[in-house]
Chains A and B, each alone.
Chain A
Amino acid sequence: GENVEQHPSTLSVQEGDSAVIKCTYSDSASNYFPWYKQELGKRPQLIIDIRSNVGEKKDQRIAVTLNKTAKHFSLHITETQPEDSAVYFCAAATGGGNKLTFGTGTQLKVEL
């Protein structure tokens, strides 16, 4: 089955700096790559996603890049703010899109 690896497991940045989280996947048939944010004690929520026919997608301070050849994708957060502190999960969809495999998560801490 699909295997998604996510790095780093923890990331601490100063407010205003950029943060980058990287993921790799194993199944070349995966075609959908979402990112979820989970605040402490809350449910995961989608923040951005990208499909395999697109190399980059941006939404205000958040961007995702996809390299299909290398089978890796990354989340970029610019001008980080304290409210960006949370756990971020990458994921890859296989099985015709019915099976979403998540990475193990990155705890992002934005310090004042």
Chain B
Amino acid sequence: NAGVTQTPKFQVLKTGQSMTLQCAQDMNHEYMSWYRQDPGMGLRLIHYSVGAGITDQGEVPNGYNVSRSTTEDFPLRLLSAAPSQTSVYFCASSFLQGIGELFFGEGSRLTVL
């Protein structure tokens, strides 16, 4: 079991560019989510999904899109990157719908210039 796999681990973008952070899990978890981590602000929920075809917004969804076409994959798209989106992004999954242990990926460090 690889667990939760995120790619890329590091990325530098210019303002206005678009990109997709990939997340895949091999634990057959229904629940998947994306968080961003900024110094002094903890982890903030961007979007989450309770199953294929179902997504919903978290605390800080603006500027991000998600889709869930399969149980395994939950990509996060930045349509037009802004410096305020410089952060470390974590994908996480859980067997139970949020009420249960979250298994995190290793994180993706994104810098927007």
Contact = CB atoms under 8 A, between A and B. Distances in A.
Interface residues of A, number: 28
A98 B42 contact: no
Nearest to B40: A104
A51 B97 CA distance: 14
B59 A98 contact: no
A99 B90 contact: no
Contacts of A36: 102
B43 A44 contact: yes
B113 interface: no
B105 A98 contact: no
Interface string A21-46: 00000000001101010000011111
Nearest to A45: B104
A13 interface: no
Contact of A98 (B43, B44, B97): B97
Nearest to B4: A43
Given A43-B104, A46-B102, A99-B48, A104 B42 contact: yes
Contact of B99 (A1, A46, A93): A93
A56 B28 CA distance: 31
B58 interface: yes
B90 A101 contact: no
A9 B39 CA distance: 12
A102 to B, nearest CB: 4
A98 B104 contact: no
Given A43-B105, A43-B106, A45-B104, A95 B98 contact: yes
Interface string A72-98: 000000000000000001010101111
A95 B33 CA distance: 14
A98 B41 contact: no
Given A97-B97, A98-B48, A99-B58, A105 B42 contact: yes
Task: Please provide the 6 A-B residue pairs with the shortest distance between their CB atoms, ordered closest to farther.
Answer: A97-B99, A43-B104, A97-B98, A102-B42, A98-B98, A102-B43
Given A36-B102, A43-B90, A102-B35, 6 more contacts: A97-B99, A98-B50, A100-B33, A102-B42, A104-B42, A105-B40
